[in-house]
Amino acid sequence: MQELAKIGDKSKESVKEGKESELDKAIASAKGILTTLKGHIEALKDIGDGNKVVAVSSNQSGVSADENELKVAHNALKGIMDAGKIGGAIKEPILSNLTLAQASIGGTDAKNGAKVLTAGAVAGGTSGPEAALIVSSVRGEEILGAIVKSIEGDATGTIGANVDGSTSALKFARGGATAANLSQDTALAGAVSGGIALRSLVKGGKLASHNANSDEKAVQSAGITAVNRAIRSSRRCN
Protein backbone atom coordinates (compact mmCIF):
# COMPACT_ATOMS: atom_id res chain seq x y z
CA MET A 1 0.00 0.00 0.00
CA GLN A 2 2.83 2.33 0.82
CA GLU A 3 4.33 1.68 -2.60
CA LEU A 4 0.99 2.49 -4.25
CA ALA A 5 0.78 5.70 -2.23
CA LYS A 6 4.26 6.69 -3.40
CA ILE A 7 3.30 6.00 -7.00
CA GLY A 8 0.16 8.11 -6.54
CA ASP A 9 2.19 10.99 -5.10
CA LYS A 10 4.61 10.82 -8.01
CA SER A 11 1.72 10.88 -10.47
CA LYS A 12 0.28 13.98 -8.81
CA GLU A 13 3.67 15.66 -8.97
CA SER A 14 3.99 14.81 -12.67
CA VAL A 15 0.55 16.26 -13.41
CA LYS A 16 1.40 19.38 -11.41
CA GLU A 17 4.70 19.79 -13.21
CA GLY A 18 2.97 19.28 -16.54
CA LYS A 19 0.42 21.99 -15.79
CA GLU A 20 3.14 24.36 -14.61
CA SER A 21 5.12 23.64 -17.76
CA GLU A 22 2.10 24.46 -19.95
CA LEU A 23 1.50 27.63 -17.95
CA ASP A 24 5.13 28.68 -18.35
CA LYS A 25 4.85 28.13 -22.09
CA ALA A 26 1.67 30.21 -22.26
CA ILE A 27 3.27 33.04 -20.29
CA ALA A 28 6.38 32.97 -22.48
CA SER A 29 4.21 33.03 -25.60
CA ALA A 30 2.17 35.98 -24.29
CA LYS A 31 5.35 37.89 -23.43
CA GLY A 32 6.67 37.24 -26.93
CA ILE A 33 3.47 38.54 -28.52
CA LEU A 34 3.51 41.66 -26.33
CA THR A 35 7.16 42.35 -27.14
CA THR A 36 6.46 42.02 -30.86
CA LEU A 37 3.37 44.20 -30.56
CA LYS A 38 5.31 46.89 -28.69
CA GLY A 39 7.91 46.94 -31.46
CA HIS A 40 5.27 47.48 -34.14
CA ILE A 41 3.60 50.26 -32.16
CA GLU A 42 6.96 51.98 -31.61
CA ALA A 43 7.64 51.82 -35.36
CA LEU A 44 4.45 53.77 -36.08
CA LYS A 45 5.63 56.72 -33.99
CA ASP A 46 8.17 57.79 -36.60
CA ILE A 47 6.18 57.49 -39.83
CA GLY A 48 4.98 61.10 -39.70
CA ASP A 49 7.02 64.23 -40.31
CA GLY A 50 5.85 66.37 -37.41
CA ASN A 51 3.47 68.42 -39.53
CA LYS A 52 -0.23 68.69 -38.84
CA VAL A 53 -2.01 65.50 -39.85
CA VAL A 54 -4.15 66.07 -42.95
CA ALA A 55 -3.10 69.67 -43.54
CA VAL A 56 -4.77 70.72 -46.80
CA SER A 57 -4.71 74.11 -48.51
CA SER A 58 -6.69 75.39 -51.46
CA ASN A 59 -5.51 74.15 -54.86
CA GLN A 60 -2.90 71.93 -53.22
CA SER A 61 -0.78 69.62 -55.34
CA GLY A 62 -0.75 66.06 -54.06
CA VAL A 63 2.50 64.43 -52.92
CA SER A 64 3.15 60.69 -52.76
CA ALA A 65 3.72 59.19 -49.33
CA ASP A 66 7.41 58.40 -48.76
CA GLU A 67 8.17 54.92 -50.10
CA ASN A 68 10.30 53.67 -47.20
CA GLU A 69 8.04 55.11 -44.50
CA LEU A 70 5.04 53.62 -46.30
CA LYS A 71 6.65 50.19 -46.05
CA VAL A 72 7.33 50.73 -42.35
CA ALA A 73 3.71 51.73 -41.75
CA HIS A 74 2.41 48.76 -43.72
CA ASN A 75 4.61 46.24 -41.90
CA ALA A 76 3.80 47.73 -38.49
CA LEU A 77 0.03 47.72 -39.04
CA LYS A 78 0.20 44.22 -40.49
CA GLY A 79 2.25 43.10 -37.49
CA ILE A 80 -0.27 44.56 -35.05
CA MET A 81 -3.12 42.78 -36.80
CA ASP A 82 -1.20 39.48 -36.95
CA ALA A 83 -0.41 39.72 -33.24
CA GLY A 84 -4.08 40.32 -32.52
CA LYS A 85 -5.03 37.23 -34.51
CA ILE A 86 -2.51 35.08 -32.61
CA GLY A 87 -3.92 36.31 -29.32
CA GLY A 88 -7.45 35.64 -30.53
CA ALA A 89 -8.43 39.28 -30.09
CA ILE A 90 -9.41 39.76 -33.72
CA LYS A 91 -10.38 37.79 -36.77
CA GLU A 92 -9.24 38.11 -40.36
CA PRO A 93 -10.94 41.23 -41.77
CA ILE A 94 -13.64 40.61 -44.34
CA LEU A 95 -13.20 43.08 -47.18
CA SER A 96 -16.14 44.28 -49.22
CA ASN A 97 -16.17 44.38 -53.00
CA LEU A 98 -17.71 47.86 -53.07
CA THR A 99 -16.46 49.68 -56.15
CA LEU A 100 -16.57 53.38 -56.92
CA ALA A 101 -19.33 52.66 -59.42
CA GLN A 102 -21.81 51.74 -56.68
CA ALA A 103 -24.67 54.23 -56.46
CA SER A 104 -24.90 53.58 -52.70
CA ILE A 105 -21.77 55.70 -52.16
CA GLY A 106 -23.74 58.76 -53.21
CA GLY A 107 -22.58 61.98 -54.80
CA THR A 108 -22.50 62.94 -58.44
CA ASP A 109 -19.65 60.67 -59.54
CA ALA A 110 -17.84 58.89 -56.71
CA LYS A 111 -14.80 57.93 -58.75
CA ASN A 112 -13.74 61.59 -58.86
CA GLY A 113 -12.92 61.30 -55.16
CA ALA A 114 -9.86 59.20 -55.98
CA LYS A 115 -8.34 62.29 -57.61
CA VAL A 116 -7.28 63.52 -54.17
CA LEU A 117 -4.51 60.91 -54.51
CA THR A 118 -3.00 62.67 -57.51
CA ALA A 119 0.76 63.23 -57.14
CA GLY A 120 2.48 66.31 -58.53
CA ALA A 121 -0.77 67.96 -59.57
CA VAL A 122 -3.95 69.43 -58.10
CA ALA A 123 -7.19 67.47 -57.97
CA GLY A 124 -10.15 68.06 -60.25
CA GLY A 125 -13.34 69.82 -59.21
CA THR A 126 -15.69 68.13 -56.67
CA SER A 127 -12.94 65.67 -55.71
CA GLY A 128 -13.14 66.57 -52.02
CA PRO A 129 -16.85 65.87 -51.42
CA GLU A 130 -16.64 62.66 -53.43
CA ALA A 131 -13.56 61.52 -51.46
CA ALA A 132 -15.43 62.12 -48.20
CA LEU A 133 -18.32 59.98 -49.47
CA ILE A 134 -15.95 57.17 -50.48
CA VAL A 135 -14.39 57.05 -47.01
CA SER A 136 -17.80 57.18 -45.33
CA SER A 137 -18.97 54.20 -47.37
CA VAL A 138 -16.57 51.71 -45.76
CA ARG A 139 -15.92 50.54 -42.20
CA GLY A 140 -12.66 51.11 -40.35
CA GLU A 141 -11.94 47.38 -40.47
CA GLU A 142 -12.16 47.50 -44.25
CA ILE A 143 -9.75 50.43 -44.43
CA LEU A 144 -7.23 48.71 -42.15
CA GLY A 145 -7.76 45.42 -43.94
CA ALA A 146 -7.10 47.02 -47.32
CA ILE A 147 -3.84 48.42 -45.97
CA VAL A 148 -2.49 45.23 -44.40
CA LYS A 149 -3.54 43.06 -47.33
CA SER A 150 -1.47 45.20 -49.67
CA ILE A 151 1.88 43.86 -50.82
CA GLU A 152 4.94 45.73 -49.55
CA GLY A 153 6.25 46.04 -53.11
CA ASP A 154 3.22 48.17 -54.00
CA ALA A 155 4.92 51.05 -52.19
CA THR A 156 7.51 51.17 -54.98
CA GLY A 157 6.75 53.36 -57.96
CA THR A 158 3.60 55.30 -58.76
CA ILE A 159 0.45 54.72 -60.79
CA GLY A 160 0.99 55.19 -64.52
CA ALA A 161 -2.07 53.45 -65.95
CA ASN A 162 -5.75 53.09 -65.13
CA VAL A 163 -6.41 51.58 -61.71
CA ASP A 164 -8.80 48.67 -61.18
CA GLY A 165 -10.09 46.33 -58.51
CA SER A 166 -6.61 44.91 -57.91
CA THR A 167 -5.00 48.28 -57.14
CA SER A 168 -4.00 48.25 -53.47
CA ALA A 169 -4.17 50.83 -50.70
CA LEU A 170 -0.36 51.16 -50.72
CA LYS A 171 -0.34 51.90 -54.43
CA PHE A 172 -3.12 54.47 -54.02
CA ALA A 173 -1.06 56.14 -51.27
CA ARG A 174 1.69 56.58 -53.83
CA GLY A 175 -0.82 57.82 -56.40
CA GLY A 176 0.04 59.10 -59.85
CA ALA A 177 0.45 62.27 -61.90
CA THR A 178 -2.63 61.72 -64.07
CA ALA A 179 -5.89 62.15 -62.17
CA ALA A 180 -7.87 60.32 -64.85
CA ASN A 181 -5.87 57.14 -64.17
CA LEU A 182 -7.06 57.19 -60.57
CA SER A 183 -10.75 57.94 -61.12
CA GLN A 184 -11.95 54.57 -62.38
CA ASP A 185 -15.28 52.93 -61.57
CA THR A 186 -13.66 49.54 -60.93
CA ALA A 187 -11.44 50.76 -58.08
CA LEU A 188 -12.39 49.45 -54.63
CA ALA A 189 -13.65 51.98 -52.09
CA GLY A 190 -11.70 50.27 -49.29
CA ALA A 191 -8.41 50.49 -51.19
CA VAL A 192 -8.97 54.16 -52.07
CA SER A 193 -9.86 54.93 -48.44
CA GLY A 194 -6.76 53.09 -47.25
CA GLY A 195 -4.68 55.13 -49.67
CA ILE A 196 -6.21 58.34 -48.34
CA ALA A 197 -5.44 57.30 -44.74
CA LEU A 198 -1.82 56.43 -45.56
CA ARG A 199 -1.27 59.55 -47.66
CA SER A 200 -2.53 61.58 -44.69
CA LEU A 201 -0.43 59.79 -42.06
CA VAL A 202 2.87 58.91 -43.67
CA LYS A 203 5.84 61.25 -43.95
CA GLY A 204 5.89 63.50 -47.01
CA GLY A 205 2.37 62.66 -48.13
CA LYS A 206 -0.16 65.33 -49.11
CA LEU A 207 -3.67 65.01 -50.45
CA ALA A 208 -4.52 66.98 -53.58
CA SER A 209 -7.31 69.56 -53.60
CA HIS A 210 -9.13 71.95 -55.94
CA ASN A 211 -9.57 75.72 -55.68
CA ALA A 212 -13.37 75.98 -55.76
CA ASN A 213 -16.16 75.66 -53.19
CA SER A 214 -13.77 75.24 -50.25
CA ASP A 215 -12.74 71.87 -51.68
CA GLU A 216 -9.77 71.69 -49.33
CA LYS A 217 -12.12 71.42 -46.33
CA ALA A 218 -13.86 68.39 -47.81
CA VAL A 219 -10.49 66.82 -48.67
CA GLN A 220 -9.28 67.40 -45.13
CA SER A 221 -12.47 65.87 -43.75
CA ALA A 222 -11.95 62.77 -45.90
CA GLY A 223 -8.37 62.42 -44.66
CA ILE A 224 -9.25 62.85 -41.00
CA THR A 225 -12.10 60.34 -41.19
CA ALA A 226 -9.94 57.76 -42.98
CA VAL A 227 -7.13 58.13 -40.44
CA ASN A 228 -9.43 57.96 -37.42
CA ARG A 229 -11.23 54.87 -38.67
CA ALA A 230 -8.00 53.04 -39.48
CA ILE A 231 -6.41 53.93 -36.13
CA ARG A 232 -9.47 52.93 -34.11
CA SER A 233 -9.52 49.58 -35.86
CA SER A 234 -5.80 49.00 -35.21
CA ARG A 235 -6.30 49.75 -31.51
CA ARG A 236 -8.84 46.96 -31.29
CA CYS A 237 -6.00 44.65 -32.27
CA ASN A 238 -3.82 45.43 -29.25
pLDDT band with cut points at 50, 70 and 90 for residue 100: very high
| Domain hosting residue 203, numbered range | 46-235
pLDDT greater than 90 at residue 50: no
Best CA proximity match to 187, nearest among 110, 124, 132, 130: 110
pLDDT digits (tens, 9 = 90+) for 116-164: 999 999 998 789 999 999 999 999 989 999 999 999 999 999 999 999 9
C-alpha to C-alpha distance for 215 and 68, rounded to whole angstroms: 30
C-alpha to C-alpha distance for 136 and 128, rounded to whole angstroms: 12
pLDDT of residue 33: 46
Judge whether 32 lies within some domain: no
pTM of the model: 0.80
Judge whether 17 lies within some domain: no
pLDDT of residue 86: 65
Region 33-53: mean pLDDT is 56
Nearest-Å Rg of the Cα atoms of the chain is 23
What is the phi/psi pair of residue 65, to 5°? -65, 145
Best CA proximity match to 200, nearest among 37, 60, 36, 52: 52
Region 193-212: mean pLDDT is 91
pLDDT band with cut points at 50, 70 and 90 for residue 6: very low
Judge whether 16 lies within some domain: no
pLDDT greater than 90 at residue 166: yes
Best CA proximity match to 163, nearest among 144, 188, 195: 188
Judge whether 33 lies within some domain: no
Residue 44: enclosing H or E segment and its boundaries?
Answer: helix 2-44
The number of distinct structural domains making up the chain is 1
Mean of all residue pLDDT scores within the chain: 81
**Sign (positive or negative) of CA dihedral 7, 9, 12, 17:** negative
Judge whether 29 lies within some domain: no
Judge whether 198 lies within some domain: yes
pLDDT of residue 165: 96
Judge whether 181 lies within some domain: yes
Query: Left (φ > 0), alpha (ψ -120 to 50) or beta: where does 121 sit?
Result: beta
Best CA proximity match to 131, nearest among 72, 179, 167, 178: 179
C-alpha to C-alpha distances, 220 to 23, 56, 97, 117, 148, nearest whole angstrom: 49, 6, 25, 12, 23
pLDDT greater than 90 at residue 226: yes
Judge whether 12 lies within some domain: no
